[in-house]
Each structure stands twice: as C-alpha cells, then as structure tokens.
Amino acid sequence: CVSCAHCPWMAMNALQNLEQLLLKGNNEIHIEETIRQKAVIPIQRMLDFAATHGISGASPK
C-alpha cells in the first residue's frame, strides 16, 4: 500500500456515495458499543497529537 490515495477501497468513497448514505441511510454500519468505545481511544489520541503539534484540521477535546 502506497497511501490511501492509491487504495481501490478508498476510491469507492465519492461525494455521490456519501450523499446517498446521508439521504437514504444505505450501507449503514452497526458496531457494538464496547468496540466503539475502544475505537474512540486511539482516534482521540491522534486528534490530541495533531492539535498539540499544530497540525491543520485538528481540534482538542
């Protein structure tokens, strides 16, 4: 994998697909609450790191 920009799975993410998801709720993914809670931890760490280092688009808690 070179980067997400070259990933065929990421290429499937188009604005039209996002619009359809938001309008119709198709392809909704359900995740168990315990898994969701665990997944939030590394995401928050990444956001905190980016905010601490002044990386654009990041915001602290």
Boundaries of every domain in the chain: 4-52
Taking the C-alpha atoms of residue 37 and residue 46, their distance in angstroms, rounded to an integer, is 15
Taking the C-alpha atoms of residue 47 and residue 30, their distance in angstroms, rounded to an integer, is 23
pLDDT of residue 58: 59
Sign of torsion over alpha carbons 24, 29, 7, 45? positive
| Residues 50 and 58 sit within 8 Å (Cβ to Cβ) | yes
Residue predicted with more confidence, 28 or 1 = 28
H helices of 1-61, where? 8-11, 15-24, 33-52
pLDDT of residue 42: 95
pLDDT in tens, 21-58: 889 987 778 999 999 999 999 999 999 999 898 887 65
Residue predicted with more confidence, 42 or 13 = 42
